[in-house]
A = this chain, B = another copy of it.
Amino acid sequence: MSIDPQIWTTHASRSAYSGRWVSVVIDTVTLPTGVTYEYTRLEPAGIGVGVVGMNDAGEILLEREYRHGVHEVIWQIPGGLADAGEDLQTAGLRELREETGYAPAAITEQSVRYLGVVWDNPAMGIGQSHIYLARSLEQVAGFHRDEGEFVTLHWVTPAWLKQAVRSGEIKDRVVVAAVAYLLLDGEI
C-alpha cells in the first residue's frame, strides 16, 4: 500500500445551522498544501440502526413508508435512531418491535447477529446505519410508532428482494447494503 493521503487539521468550527434532526458545521481546515479551506459538514441527530427480520420460512420483513426526503413511498427495513447511550442491537430490536410488532422468538447468537455498518455520505458527515439480522420473528405486543410514522408491512422472498435491488425498485442504502452483506455471507 502506498503512503496514505494526509489527515487534515481542523483549526476552528462554527455552527451554521442547528436543529433537532441535523446540524450544519463549518470547519476551518488546513489542506495538505497548506491552504486554508472552509469545509461544510453535517452532524446527524444520532446513530442509525436497521434490522433484516426473517421468519422461519426464510421470508424477509419489509416496510413501505412515505419518506418526505425523496417524496416517495419506498421500501425499507425496520429501523431508526438509537437513543443516547442505547446499545445498538437493543435499539434495532426496539425499532423492529415498535414499527412492526415483531421480535425474534429468543435473543441468542444464532437468532440475532450483526451484519455491518454503512455510511450515508462520508464526504458530508458521520451519518451511519448499523444493520442486524434477526431470525425466527414472531408477533409480540402491539405497535408503538412515532408521530409521523405510517408504515405497511410486507413479507418478501429473498429472490424478490434481490430482484428489487437489481431493478432499482429498492434504492435505500441500508437495504442495498443489507443485501450485499447477506449475499457475501451466503444467506440469500
A residues lining the B interface (CB < 8 Å) = 1-8, 10, 16-17, 19-22, 24, 27, 29, 31-32, 35, 37, 39-42, 64-74, 76, 116-128, 147-148, 150-152, 154, 162, 165-166, 168, 171-173, 176-177, 179-181, 183-185
New A-B pairs, 5, CB < 8 Å, besides A116-B165, A177-B180: A31-B147, A39-B148, A70-B119, A70-B126, A71-B126
| Chain B residues positioned under 8 Å from A76 (CB to CB) | 122
Q: How far is the CB of A51 from chain B (nearest CB, A)?
A: 16
Q: How far is the CB of A111 from chain B (nearest CB, A)?
A: 21
Flag if A172 contacts B7 (CB, 8 Å).
no
Q: Please tell me which one of the listed residues B39, B68, B150, B151 contacts residue A41 in the complex, with CB atoms under 8 A apart.
A: B68
Flag if B4 contacts A152 (CB, 8 Å).
yes
Q: Please tell me which one of the listed residues B5, B72, B177 contacts residue A151 in the complex, with CB atoms under 8 A apart.
A: B5
**Smallest Cβ-Cβ distance to A26: which chain B residue:** B19
Flag if B171 contacts A124 (CB, 8 Å).
no
Flag if A117 contacts B22 (CB, 8 Å).
no
Flag if A150 contacts B40 (CB, 8 Å).
no
| Chain B residues positioned under 8 Å from A71 (CB to CB) | 7, 126
Q: Please tell me which one of the listed residues B22, B31, B171, B185 contacts residue A42 in the complex, with CB atoms under 8 A apart.
A: B22
